[in-house]
Structure 1
Amino acid sequence: MAVVAISNPYVLGTRVCGDLSEGAGREWLVPDGAGGYAMGTASGLRTRRYHALLVAAENGGSARRVALAALDPVLVLPSGAEVRLAVHEWASGAIAPDGHTLLESFTLEHGLPRWRWRLGDTVLEAELAAVHGRPAYGYVYRLLAGGPVTLRVEALCTWRDQHGDRFAGGGDLRQRPTADGVVVEEAYRLAGPGWSAAGQWYRDVYLREEAARGLGAREDLWFAGSFSAPLAEPGAKMQLTAWAGDLDDLDAAPPPAARILEAARDRAVAIQAKGADAVASQLLLAADAFVIARTGADGGTTPDVIAGYPWFGTWSRDTMVSYDGLFLSAQRPEEGRELLRAYAGTLSEGMLANTADTGSVEYNTSDATLWFVHAIGRHTAVTGDADLAAELAPALEAILRAHLEGTRYGIRVDPADSLVSQGAEGYALTWMDARVDGRPMTQRRGKAVEINALWINALGTIADLWKAVGRDATGVLQRREAAATSFRRRFPNPECGLYDVVDGPAGDDAALRPNQLFAYSLPYAPLRGQVPAPIVGEKLMTPLGPRTLSPDDPAYQPHHRGSAEQRDAAYHQGTAWPWLLGPYRDAVAAAGGPAGSGGAVFGGLPGHLGEAGLGSVSETAEGLAPHVTTGCPFQAWSVAESLRGWILKNSDCT
């Protein structure tokens, strides 16, 4: 029987595509499954330094390099007239060429972008897809109507760190001709018909989204040359490929572009077929974007998670928060098992490594390790995999011992009340970790509410795991009860529901934040089954997730925009985070809310899927209506918690 996916394509017409403020605000992503990606906008305008048709990952996604920036199609008519279908913006303010005005439609279906341009009775279509598991892409141009015409596709290139820029003054890009194209910088290869080398700089390309983020908004692109082929009649096509890695072994070359597209579409259909409805189907495909195969020094691969596209790499906190959605809800438990085993190997002094985007390893979170315990517990509960629990028992013992005896950054259980305290000068160790000029914006030093909810949950989880492997859980359960009793005594506050932090440097912090949701939502949360304070929903909830601070607070920031410093200052001071929809839903459901009330939490989700990162869920949104999305347009924990919550949305079980 053929696999049939519930398809919900995103189709944009001429009004949206032809208006750069609209079409360029809707982005698409085609990941390669190895940490790299292609990414751009519906209109075709590059608005970010990250927009390109080939971005190759290094160090398993912890670093990436931008390679093929753009392929600009040019239709050459029988009269000799040339019609440019690309669109670029320049530092002068000019939009040239303006091929977006000829776009008949843009479609994203099964995660694959497709553009159609119309020039009178001539219609040209372009599609692209990745070879899953390697930095390789295929691009297909097809004449749908009209002809004969000649299609010329101009390759605009660079080779730089994805966060940086490159200008003509730094020297020309090196080109080496091949039988079917060119090798650029000995780093990546372009192949197709009718290659004609060029070699000149296009200067002062403008990137409007970088300007809006207060970052450098200019770069230069290298015109390497062009491919050309006649398209005599409808159905005729041109196929191009681009790849990094082994460039000269013909056996390692990717298959023809049309086959790449077919394989990518088949893979997406199989993933989406697991969804019970159109939203679940789309979220399953969105979730797949973040699960990668990381290649180790020995050449072997292990699963890992990209925290967000385009600028994040792998981060243990994001990975463990996302675990339930990306691996259990997405029906990928075997990959999840291998990931948990690999991450256990990074433990040091009872802390899970937090892998930074530079590829270095740091131990600087107070919650990632506790989320790791939660992930192991959820994996075992869902799969019945007691063998994994037994294998990781020494790691769990080390985590318990380190928290009881104390570890880095003041992370330690207070023997007076069995609660966890954390914090060190200059560090922000919870998920609210933004810093400006080295100064934490939301340091939350002391006994933070969600850290202690996670600690109590971890104790309950470990007790369950001990039982699963035949060990005595009495001592762990006694410790959990002591911590839960202290929590129920120390944290309640009639004004804000629960204190955000107790025993902080300035005393107890009554700021109204969503962190208290975890005291109700986690499986072994200290207040599970109780109803969160009404003020939490009244003051914090938006269609795209809870705000990180009440609008009534003097420190509230309604907008998340401007310079990097301005954005970081607002990051956790009122900005809304979609990933928190998951715990909000769990808290409502665990308290026995009315049927469907948990699902109502996700009312804004279906509309959002077509508004920013098409088919995905953004990292953040402004706290003030209309809640403009900000941050990464494709974020792992936003998708993971949306998928998990959507599947459970009308169920009373969690």
Structure 2
Amino acid sequence: MRFERNSQNWNTIEQGEKDCFLLTNGLGGYSSLSVIGSLARGDQALLMSAQKAPNVRRHLISNLLETFSMDGTNYVLTSQRMMNQPDLEGFRYLDSFSYDKIPTWTYRIGDVVISKRMVMVHGENTVALQYNIHSEQKHQCRLTLTPMLRFSPKKEEFCEKQQITVNIEQDNLYRIKGAEDVLYVAANAQMQEEPSHLFGPMYFSQDERDGREKQGRTVCTHSYISETETGETQNDINVILSTKPYTYHEGLFDELLHSRQAYEEALLKKAHLSSEIGRQLVLSADAYVVDRESTQGKSIIAGYPFFEDWGRDTMIALAGTTLVTGRLEECKSILQTFAKYEHHGLLPNLFPEGDVEPMYNSVDAPLLFINAVYEYIQTSKDNAFLQEVWDVLKRIMTAYETGTDYHIGMDSDCLIQAGADLEQLTWMDVRVGNHLPTPRHGKPVEINAYWYNDLEIMKQFALLQQDNELAQHYAELADKVKEAFLLKFWNEEENCLKDVLSGNSEENQVRCNQVWVLSMPYTMLPKEKELCVLHKIKEELYTTAGLRTLSPRDNAFHDIYIGSMQERDRAYHQGTVWAFPLGAYYRAWTKYLRQDASDKTSVYKAELAEGIEAIRYWLEEGCLGQLAEIYDGAKPTVSRGCFAQAWSVGELLRAVYEWEQL
């Protein structure tokens, strides 16, 4: 997809900061600015490097301060909102912005056109920029690029005591050194040192909206200057920012650009999606598949710009980001990584760096892992992989059956219960001090859907392993789970499923978690009740942006996600729209339509087609080409939270893929 904006989209700097772009490098590093080239968040940067993939990240350079001089008159091209001083309003000269795999800006000053292109190199902490200055008339022009350096860990402020030096390594190659960082700049421009000075404080409008730190500073120590005369020839200025030293030559930018283009073409060729939305989501999904240095394998970043790689998010996003896209080796590597870290039948919800032990506070990740292994084997036909992970799968099942950490275990009715006190073990896991806004202790509906699904899967796996006794055990247990589930989870009053069997009022809340009862490979509800659940979700929870986490009829419903962290946390799962459950909802409809031949099928199919097409709108909003984490519960018009979320992209990509197969 091609995303375009023009000057009508930024009559004010506030308007220009509504949308942004994201480039990534497969290591956890990224580049992200608003469409007018400003920083609207403290976690946005021209180059956020991954020092140790994927989570040890360094904020190297926030942006370039761009000043254009034409016939002695200076024009600042950079846009940036500032604290207690005038904003930089380069957007006044910005004619257009386009994003078609790479971002391109076009500025116009009189009869001079200045274009800028940018690419991030896969597998490296490298960002390359190319400026082109063109006019049919003769003008004496100068472009001055001043690095706005941060040289700090991600999420930390620039240390003002830090000494930064810049040296000439060789012709057109410069080395910038800080206390812990080295950045190389290869450019066909002259370096000019200047007295070190702080730039800022800058104002981060999106952070203030979300209740985060709203200001930040960088340091400037030098500039790169290129002088040219317009007229008969076009003039390119190339700047390569990297943690590795590039030897500059005239075709370097084009080499890096073509390498990126070839990489993305290979992704599309491997994925076999035909629709424009599907092909865009294939490219979007690549942002999340990253190296993990500590395990020498692959992982999935949960979201940009805030999150790291988490177990639950990985298992939910895995099928969409790897299986649907044909990246089977990456999928296998991720499953192998998690299998190595199985502990007491649980899998890591968070991989910390260094010597700190992983955190295992997730009741769903191990169950989703079994389903992921099943889907990988179904897709890849790699039956040998079952033997590799068979003991891990059995340990997970035994732990859930006999009981394990965090009060996770099977009750006498064969349903899974989990959690006590302040433990939050499902994806609705917010804790505000000693208060749980969404307590789900007891028997959550989706966890028991996963449990039944896994019992059916493990029955098949046991037969493949020629363990008939174990297969029989899983079969008998699955029958008991189904019987108890159908007896206890149906809510006659609401004509849908209860959210959690807890013995308190929360169990009857109408929530989106029931959608996974319908979307898993093996399900328990009779067809007529599946349709009831789908209609309930459609009536009270469905939006084209995602599913509401709570019905608006509920007194606990929050209509907006904004304010301080505590205010946002209280709304996080209390009505706020999440994008990723929408994938399961669409897949549940696709699954239903495959089995139904009634007169209503055409109506349902048309409605599903409209929903799939509506994904286009959300790809155009916020972070262009990506899908956000969340949206407001009452009127989901503006993205909130992470502007690019793995399970949002993965689940909706999977839904589009299954729709294309319908």
TM-score range, shorter chain: over 0.9
Please, which of 154, 173, 176 is the counterpart of residue 162 of structure 1?
A: 154
Residue 413 of structure 1, aligned match among 406, 410, 413: 410
Counterpart of 1:4? Answer: none
Distance 2:505 2:552 in 1: 22
1:266 aligns with 2:265: no
How far off its partner does 1:277 sit?
Answer: 1.8
The alignment partner of 1:354 has SS state of coil
Q: Which piece of structure 1 moves more, 475-484 or 177-186?
A: 177-186
* Pairing partner for 1:396 from 373, 393, 398: 393
1:137 positional shift: 1.5
Shift of 1:628: 2.1
Asked whether the 8 Å contact 2:545–2:636 carries over to 1, the reply is no
The residue type paired with residue 87 of structure 1 is: S
Q: Which of 91, 98, 111 lines up with 1:100 in the alignment?
A: 91
Q: Partner letter of residue 589 of structure 2?
A: V
Equivalent residue pairs, number: 632
Q: 1:458 & 1:278 partners in 2: Cα distance? A: 34
Query: Which stretch has the larger CA shift, 279-288 or 470-479?
Result: 470-479
Larger deviation, residues 205-214 vs 549-558: 205-214
Greater shift after overlay, 305-314 or 461-470?
461-470
Greater Cα shift, 591-600 or 447-456:
591-600
Aligned match for 1:61, one of 46, 51, 54: 54
Q: CA deviation at 1:251?
A: 7.9
Report the Cα offset of residue 425 of structure 1.
1.3
Alignment of structure 1 residues 285-324 onto 2, 5 Å: 285-296=283-294, 301-324=296-319
Q: Identity percentage over the alignment?
A: 26
Match of 1:114 in 2: 104
How many Å separate the matches in 2 of 1:341 and 1:231? 55
Deviation at 1:254, TM superposition (A): 14
User: 2: distance between equivalents of 1:114 and 1:24?
Assistant: 16
Q: Residue deviations 1:266-325, cap 9 Å, x none?
A: 32233235430211111000000100122237xxx3111000000101001000001110
In structure 2, C-alpha distance between the alignment counterparts of 1:469 and 1:127, rounded to whole Å: 55
What are the Cα deviations for residues 341-381 of structure 1, in whole angstroms up to 9, with x where unaligned? Answer: 11100100000011256675101011011111111111111
Q: Which amino acid aligns with 1:467?
A: L
Work out the CA distance in 1 between the residues paired with 2:55 and 2:526: 37
Residue in structure 1 matching 2:78, options 76, 86, 105: 86
C-alpha separation in 2, matches of 1:254 and 1:549: 57
The offset of 1:599, in angstroms, is: 3.4
Query: Any idea what SS the aligned residue of 1:591 has?
Result: helix
Give 2:223's aligned residue.
226
SS of residue paired to 2:538: helix
- Cα RMSD over matched residues? 2.1
Q: Which has the higher mean CA deviation after the structures are superposed, 13-22 or 49-58?
A: 13-22
**How far apart are the structure 2 equivalents of 1:528 and 1:30?**
45
Identify which range, 574-583 or 268-277, moves more after superposition: 268-277
- Contact in 2 for aligned 1:243/1:254 (Cα 8 Å): no
Look up the match of 1:243: 242
Q: 1:469-517: per-residue Cα shift (whole Å, max 9, x none)? A: 4432221111111111110111001223111111x25377100001011
Taking the aligned partners of 2:344 and 2:400, their CA distance within structure 1 comes to 9
Contact 1:558 1:624 in 2 (8 A): yes
Query: Matches of residues 17-36 of structure 1 in structure 2 within 5 Å?
Result: 17-36=10-29
Between the aligned partners of 1:465 and 1:145, the Cα distance in structure 2 is: 68
The answer for the alignment partner of 1:616 in structure 2 is 626
C-alpha distance after superposition, 1:603-624 (max 9, x if no partner): 4211111111100111111111
**Which SS does the other structure have where 2:63 is aligned?**
strand
Contact 1:585 1:598 in 2 (8 A): yes
Task: Please tell me whether residue 567 in structure 1 is matched to residue 571 in structure 2.
Answer: no
Shift of 1:528: 6.7
Aligned partner of 1:209 among 206, 212, 217:
206
1:82 & 1:190 partners in 2: Cα distance? 28
TM alignment of 1:571-610, pairs within 5 A:
571-592=572-593, 594-595=601-602, 596=605, 597-610=607-620
Structure-1 separation of matches of 2:483 and 2:193: 73
Aligned equivalents of 2:57 and 2:143: distance in 1?
31
Mapped to 1, the partners of 2:351 and 2:651 lie a distance apart of 22
- Judged with a 3 Å threshold, the aligned counterparts in structure 2 of structure 1 residues 508 and 483 are, in CA distance, closer, same or farther, namely farther
Mapped to 1, the partners of 2:532 and 2:631 lie a distance apart of: 23
Alignment partners' CA distance in 1, 2:182 and 2:174: 11
CA distance in 1, matches of 2:30, 2:306: 11
TM-score (normalised: structure 2): 0.91
SS at match of 1:485: helix
Contact 2:577 2:636 in 1 (8 A): no
2:13–2:81: 8 Å Cα contact kept in structure 1?
Answer: no
Shift of 1:532: 3.7
